[in-house]
Amino acid sequence: MKVSGRKTGSALSHAPDNWHAVDWRRVERNVRGMQIRIAKATREGNWRRVKALQRMLTRTLSAKLYAVRRVTQNQGARTAGVDRELWDSPESRWAAVGRLKRRGYRPLPLRRVFIPKANGKERPLGIPTMRDRAMQALYLLALEPVSESTSEPNSYGFRRNRSTADAKSQIFVCTSKKASAQWILEADIKGCFDHINHDWLEQHVPMDVEILRKWLKAGLIYKGQLQATEAGTPQGGIISPTLANVTLNGLEHELLKHLRARYGVVKASKLKVNVVRYADDFVITGNSKELLENEVKPWVEAFLDVRGLRLSEEKTRVCHIDDGFDFLGWNFRKYSGKLLIKPSKKNVKTFYRKVAETISGNKEATQEGLILLLNPMLRGWAQYHSPVVAKQAYSRIEHLVFKKLWRWCRRRHPQKNASWVRKKYFHTVGKRTWVFGASIAEDDGSTWLLELFRPSSTPIRRTKKVTGEYNPFDVRWEQYGETLRQERMWLSKRYRKQWVSLYMSQNGLCAHCGQGLTEETGWHDHHLTYRMLGGSDAISNRVLLHPDCHRQVHAGKLVVTKPVLL
């Protein structure tokens, strides 16, 4: 791969000659610096400069390296497109960097696959090739700073450091008080990703229009036949969620602007209209049913129609807060004037069905194997609902799972009585009886009990809502973003306590390159003295590294030291 010798703010001063030689710390610093400049130009309204900086970023070696690393480290890295090509070696990744060029670029059609949805239907996905994914990741680096700088404060889907818990907290703010809005427009866009108008995207998305048009018109292959794509941005592409967010930006701002122009600023504020959106699902509050049905809903339908979208009739309704509504897997409802947020009945039912299918589909598995399958599911579901009133739902799931496991145990031993089955599969731990667990024997002869995770053991913790104006590409919010991310990681039980301790001791930075460790980048647990050489599992012998840094350390036999905090 040829690297230009011109000196630019984003060029690597010492160009690497292989994948393991990449200085990821410099790469991330270069990309981050350019993104901050793009965001600044966006806030100033200097669109000519935005376009020039975007063009500059997508042509730099740093951005191309960053894009290739992203698509080869995420969960879809093992899923090939229509060309069946995977970049599963350092050599293939290094060669791929040189192929990320605008001139002559022509994306291949998407590979159509379907995945099941909670309602029994199937969700269509379009799987791009690895090269097309990398090109999307490359141009997303230039689009995301613009998207974040122009997004609305109460849009929470597919944005950095924003989550469903933030959307939930904002709805609580808008509806919990006695004087809050009592009526809710619960809305859902029908097939949002599949019906966005291509012409609207080309005219309003601030990125290279020629590249965007090629992606939109690439077509897809299903059952061996090529199908044209006349509308939509297929789910499965890295850039698709951001394109959907750009499409729906303005829903909150333009609606409030419309109401102020129609009723005046003072009267409009008394209407108590608030918009909370997560991806293509959103709720709008109001002080009357007539306002939402006769004024707000028609305006929303007109807003979406310009973009080629329309509301789903079966999922869109106006309801009173005392009757409650479901949003993002939770039920929001006031009981005697007090707002309570609980896991929705539909969410609990869908989750139990998934657990039951896992148990039924593993009739021949060992008890240990079944527990290892169920624990991540139970733990993830319980942690998702940990910010709400979920103890009753936790107990309900535990009861249903116990009954299913008891049938699983009895089926394996039809000739044994219940007492024998109980002694074999269930244990007493402290004051708890009927603990489903497997005894694990260690090499030294000791044993320990692998228990089935109990959702009721998950503590209820309220989340701190992200500030609506937060922009991850604005240097003024840098410290706020770091503090927010570390606080949330500290509270998250998904990470083992030892990993959290390591993360905090390293100030959230990779021990090799010094750049941030995030859920997006992932991390590996590296032993300073290798275990095969007698190294222990003690925290003093471990550090956290980026996955690529970890591979780089091992490939180059580099020495990593424990960070010393000043």
The string of pLDDT tens digits covering residues 481-537 is: 877 876 776 665 545 677 788 888 898 899 998 888 887 788 888 888 876 566 776
Task: State the pLDDT at residue 277.
Answer: 97
pLDDT in tens, 289-309: 999 999 999 999 999 999 999
β-strand pairing of 338-343 with 274-278: unpaired
Of 46-55, 162-171, 185-194, 364-373, the one with minimum mean pLDDT is 185-194
pTM: predicted TM-score of the whole model, two decimal places: 0.85
Higher pLDDT pick, 550 / 437: 437
**pLDDT band at 1; cut points 50, 70, 90:** very low
- Ranges of each domain in the chain: 16-147, 151-197+232-341, 345-457, 475-556
- Sheet of 220-222: strand order equals 122-127, 110-116, 220-222, 225-227
| Superfamily of chain region 151-197+232-341 | Reverse transcriptase/Diguanylate cyclase domain (3.30.70.270)
Question: pLDDT tier at 95 (50, 70, 90 boundaries)?
Answer: very high
Instruction: Give the domain 475-556 fold.
Output: His-Me finger endonuclease fold (3.40.1800)
pLDDT of residue 565: 60
- What share of the chain in percent tops pLDDT 90? 67
Q: Concatenated DSSP letters for 266-332?
A: HHHHHTT-EEEEETTEEEEEES-HHIIIIIIHHHHHHHHHHTT--B-TTT-EEEETTT-EEETTEEE
Tell me how far apart the alpha carbons of residues 351 and 176 are, in angstroms, rounded to a whole number: 28
